Chains A and B, each alone.
Chain A
Amino acid sequence: MSAKSTSTVLYDAPGPKARVRNNIIALVFIVVLVALFVWVVTAFAANGQFDKEKLEPFVDTNYWGTYILPGLWGTFKAAVASIILAMIMGAFLGIGRLSDHRSVRWATGAIVEFFRAIPVLILIYFLYIVFGVYKVFTSDYIAFFAVVFGLTLYNGSVIAEILRSGINSLPQGQFEAAKALGLRKTQTMRLILLPQAVAAMLPALISQMVIALKDSALGYQIGYIEVVKSGIQAGNEWGNVIPSLIVVAIIMILINFGLSALASNIEKNLREGRKKKSIVDTPHALPEPGLMSKEVMETTHPDPKHKDLRQDYGD
């Protein structure tokens, strides 16, 4: 991020006095940050966390092959399986909530609200014990399926809501035109509404994938081997828990940051829509420009009707 790109309406371009003041503030801020960083690093180093023998495992193929990579695979397996199942579940529940029959709307609404209101972790605990007591799966797979189904029920409900608001945000004319052509309700949904809603949902689905990747770490608590668990195990094996957790954190941050950036990029393209290619379109076309729009509008041509469907509040 360069300093130049953030011209904003919140303050004037700094003059000589303001530049001096900003530099002093920046200096104090950086000194405090560096002091904090040095304090943490020296405290860890004093405990020998960064000694040579604790960093050596990172070039050991055994360290990666036996622990970290299988853990990463466990995280991926659980997240991908649950997102695929969640999309199926979300499609049924989302369309159910738009049904013409009150009973269907009510029942699907109750399911969605229930799974969105309770913590995923108690769902995972519950499924884990149920699968264990009633021997639903062989003991190797109990933890895996508890994590997958726990994440599926939660993410499926969220995807149902995303689908519903995606369909609701489509122009009313789409629905009316389909009706005028004599399409039946299922045809309207299948041929007209769903394809457009799914395209608009793509960024939301990717950011849901990030949530599933993060939430699969909940499997830690029921002994499922995902990347955090394997990091701790490797740390215990080589006596380098802190460096191991830092490495696991870096891996997860890189993956999730990449996916989030991809979602933002697609979202930006969708927001700009067809207008991007139009040379006659004026950038300042928004009816009520907000504070941040100035910098956005200088480079892009946002579609004021576009709705961001991503729902990431930290679940």
Chain B
Amino acid sequence: MWEDLGPQLWPAFWVTIKLTFFSAIGATIWGTILAGMRVSPVPAMRVFGTWYVNIVRNTPLTLIILFLSLGLYQNMGLALAPNNANFTANNNFWLAVIGFIVYTATFVCETLRSGFNTVPLGQAEAARSLGLSFMQVFQLIVLPQAGRAVIAPMGSVLIALTKNTTIASIIGVGEAALLMKEQLELHSDQLILIFVIFAACFMVITLFEGAVFGYFAKRLAVKR
């Protein structure tokens, strides 16, 4: 069993890590923009932000990924990868990344918004009395303080994202969950061992993320 699984284990988890990495970056950017929209002076943006979050966070992630694969690629023909031998694998990878960004950004937005409330009223009042515009208040005053206050819950969002990347197996992205499924079917005499190996690898990743974010949450906490 190990001769078969061993060499494939790291490449599969490397795909999981890459999926998490790119999705996390995209979701942070898009989620921050959404949070900004939800408190912006432009009513149309506030309405859009609210609707986007309420719609997307209540949709099953499986449905979002499937919809992107069937709709974006198979129907609209939007290719996300260069046309070469690895086209299908690369295209599915980026489709999955888009799906995770679309979904996770709503949780980044909501977490960040809960962080806004840890910033004392006086901070924004002082900033406004200095003549700062909304964008300046948001970027220079609110976001840095709110961001530092929500590091721990952002760690929870990242852990959830890492676990959610397994859903990419639905469109055939060769990540850890897909490998585990194949291995369970091939070696049905060693089910528990295979499960324990994969569970342990996921635990290493998620507990590591939790530890790093926990450390920085303490380190960067805003003293009030």
Contacts and interface: CB of A to CB of B under 8 A. Distances in A.
Interface of A: 1, 3, 6, 8-12, 14, 18, 22, 25-26, 29-30, 33, 40, 43-44, 47, 49, 114, 117-122, 125-126, 129-130, 133, 210, 213-218, 220-221, 228, 232, 241-242, 245, 248-249, 252-253, 256-257, 260, 288-294, 311-315
Contacts of A30: 44
Interface in B166-180: 166-167, 169-170, 176-177, 180
A18 B41 contact: yes
18 contacts: A11-B41, A11-B133, A26-B43, A26-B45, A29-B48, A114-B203, A117-B159, A122-B166, A125-B181, A217-B63, A228-B66, A242-B67, A245-B63, A253-B54, A253-B55, A292-B113, A314-B107, A314-B164
B199 A26 contact: no
Given A26-B45, A214-B61, A290-B117, A10 B142 contact: yes
A125 B191 contact: no
A88 B33 CA distance: 40
Contact of B160 (A121, A220, A228, A314): A314
Contacts of A47: 75-76
A122 B167 CA distance: 10
A165 B176 CA distance: 33
B184 A314 contact: no
B76 A122 contact: no
Interface stretch (B80-88, B91-99, B119-127): B119-127
A44 B75 contact: yes
A121 B161 CA distance: 13
Most buried by A among B63, B118, B120, B195: B63
Contacts of A253: 54-55, 58-59
B206 interface: yes
A221 B169 contact: yes
Most buried by B among A252, A288, A292: A292
B203 A8 contact: no
A10 B138 contact: yes
Interface band, chain B: 35 or more
Nearest to A220: B62
Contacts of A8: 39
B177 A220 contact: no
B177 A289 contact: no
A71 to B, nearest CB: 12
Most buried by A among B47, B66, B107: B66
A47 B32 CA distance: 35
A295 B167 CA distance: 39
Given A9-B121, A10-B142, A26-B42, 14 more contacts: A1-B46, A22-B42, A25-B45, A26-B45, A29-B48, A117-B159, A122-B166, A126-B180, A129-B191, A214-B61, A232-B66, A242-B70, A288-B224, A314-B164
Contacts of A216: 60
A204 to B, nearest CB: 14
Contacts of A217: 60-63
Nearest to B224: A288
A72 to B, nearest CB: 13
Most buried by A among B57, B111, B188, B202: B57
Nearest to A22: B42
A4 B107 CA distance: 26
A117 B160 CA distance: 9
Interface in B113-165: 113, 116-121, 123-125, 128, 133-134, 137-138, 142, 153, 156-157, 159-164
Contact of B47 (A1, A220, A241): A1
A22 to B, nearest CB: 5
A218 B134 CA distance: 42
B55 A118 contact: no
Contacts of B46: 1, 3, 6
A294 B75 contact: no
Nearest to A4: B43
A256 B202 contact: no
B37 to A, nearest CB: 9
Most buried by B among A3, A130, A314: A314
A17 to B, nearest CB: 12
Contacts of B3: none
B126 to A, nearest CB: 10
